[in-house]
Structure 1
């Protein structure tokens, strides 16, 4: 769910916008897409995971630097694991976000310089 377009306070829950690339599975859970990393190489294979499933993996940001072969250039990579943001060795990382915009909705992703917008 988009954190920008979803209101807080007394209006919470009235408007919910799905984040970009998100989908609802047959059980009603929201899933996000991730690229698989096999033997340290980012592949084109995309899998969808719920938030509970994602927390079991080390997920790198979509804008992490990669070399021409699709491997991380840095020894340590900024990633998420079990709800925490941390620096993990590149060989621990097993998934990668598909896009830096997958956190926000389509409408919010059109806001220029969103990271500096209050």
Structure 2
């Protein structure tokens, strides 16, 4: 776990916004070449729809986006501290072997060895332990 880096929600959304802004930039460049120079206004050039579509795509279709469990404050807190090895840039349930799912000595104090779901996601989804936190570089520290 010492060499594995977490991708936080902010980083994932930042990547989606970057994709949306690059699409919007392409549209603006196309409009600047086709429209008359005297008639150009910011309202005619800039269309925010590509950025909105990229954010909606992340929250609507991403494997890592899910509704928050708000049954009680404790379930909401554990949902916010959940870690997943699945999704884009990660593993799939079929490719993950036993070595990845097992508890490693580096997990103690950083990831809870007990709180993991049963079934095909066992060992792939976990939670941060009590005093663990994610530093600005994306590494788990205690």
TM-score w.r.t. length of structure 2: 0.22
Structure with the greater alpha carbon radius of gyration: 2
Higher relative contact order (CA 8 A, sep 6+): 1
**Structure with greater helix percent:** 2
**Structure with greater strand percent:** 1
